[in-house]
Amino acid sequence: AQSVTQPDIHITVSEGASLELRCNYSYGATPYLFWYVQSPGQGLQLLLKYFSGDTLVQGIKGFEAEFKRSQSSFNLRKPSVHWSDAAEYFCAVDDTDKLIFGTGTRLQVFP
């Protein structure tokens, strides 16, 4: 069965520090991959997506992610975190018109 693993449940970083959130997937074909962010009590906002082509994709709010087929990974990165980035981050893979989500990573940012 298709699955998505986010190994880090909770990450704490200082404002201005770099960030990398890990995501590993299990999928038989070429995956469609997504990163979403959820602020408390809110819905999901799309940060970026990967369908094909360039394996380094740029998203909104200064985020980027790199698709590595050999490692079945799609890690999310940001060079300098802002306090407003504190939220829950979800990685997801599209499995024939439905999304399979990881368990999420909660990001806490200290000033």
Partner 1 sequence: SAVISQKPSRDICQRGTSLTIQCQVDSQVTMMFWYRQQPGQSLTLIATANQGSEATYESGFVIDKFPISRPNLTFSTLTVSNMSPEDSSIYLCSVELGDVPFFGSGTQLSVL
Residues that bind partner 1 (CB under 8 A): 32, 34, 36, 41-46, 49, 51, 90, 92, 94, 97-99, 101-104
Shortest separation between residue 99's beta carbon and partner 1, angstroms: 6
CB-CB contact of 1 with 97 (8 Å): no
Shortest separation between residue 31's beta carbon and partner 1, angstroms: 12
**Which residue number, 42 or 71, has a Cβ lying nearer to partner 1?**
42
DSSP character for 103? -
3-state class (DSSP) for residue 63? coil
Cα gap 111→105, rounded to integer Å: 19
**Which residue number, 15 or 86, has a Cβ lying nearer to partner 1?**
86
Shortest separation between residue 92's beta carbon and partner 1, angstroms: 8
Token output for 25: 């997937």
CB-CB contact of 83 with 15 (8 Å): yes
